[in-house]
């Protein structure tokens, strides 16, 4: 985790942008010693959003399974998940 004062983004935008891309992690910016905002590079943000969407979908499928609701076949699910995983992996490149 990287924590920087908010003035850093005004004074050294390129340094923060480079750090975001290099670490692929969010940078926490503080104002008066308190957490204020979080910044991250676009590729990491897109990858994170896709992973969150995938987790939500997997949770919904698991809830349906536990409740006994019929969804898709194992083969359909496997094909769908392979597509999502491939999409996430290709986004990371």
Per-residue model confidence as pLDDT tens digits over 23-72: 999 999 999 989 999 999 999 999 999 999 999 999 998 898 888 887 77
Long-range own/partner contacts, residues 78-87 (CB < 8 A, 24 or more apart): 84/50, 84/54, 84/57, 85/54, 87/50
Is residue 35 exposed (0-12), middle (13-18) or buried (19+ Cβ within 10 Å)? exposed
Under the phi-then-psi rule, with left for phi > 0, alpha for psi from -120 to 50, and beta for the rest, what region is 24?
Answer: left
Strand stretches in the chain, DSSP E: 2-5, 27-31, 34-39
- The reported pLDDT for the residue numbered 2 is 83
Would you state the pLDDT for residue 8? 84
Question: Could you report the per-residue pLDDT of 79-91, keeping only the tens digit for each?
Answer: 988 988 888 888 7
Cα(47)–Cα(92) distance, rounded to whole angstroms? 7
User: What's the pLDDT at 93?
Assistant: 54
Does the predicted model carry a pTM greater than 0.85?
no
């Amino acid at each position: 985790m990287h924590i920087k004062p908010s003035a850093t983004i005004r004074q050294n935008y390129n340094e923060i942008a480079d750090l975001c891309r290099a670490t692929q992690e969010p940078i926490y910016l503080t104002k008066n010693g308190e957490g204020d905002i979080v910044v991250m590079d676009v590729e990491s943000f897109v990858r994170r959003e896709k992973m969150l969407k995938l987790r939500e979908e997997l949770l919904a499928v698991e809830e349906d399974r536990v409740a006994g609701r019929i969804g898709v076949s194992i083969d359909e699910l496997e094909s769908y998940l392979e597509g999502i995983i491939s999409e996430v992996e290709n986004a990371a490149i």
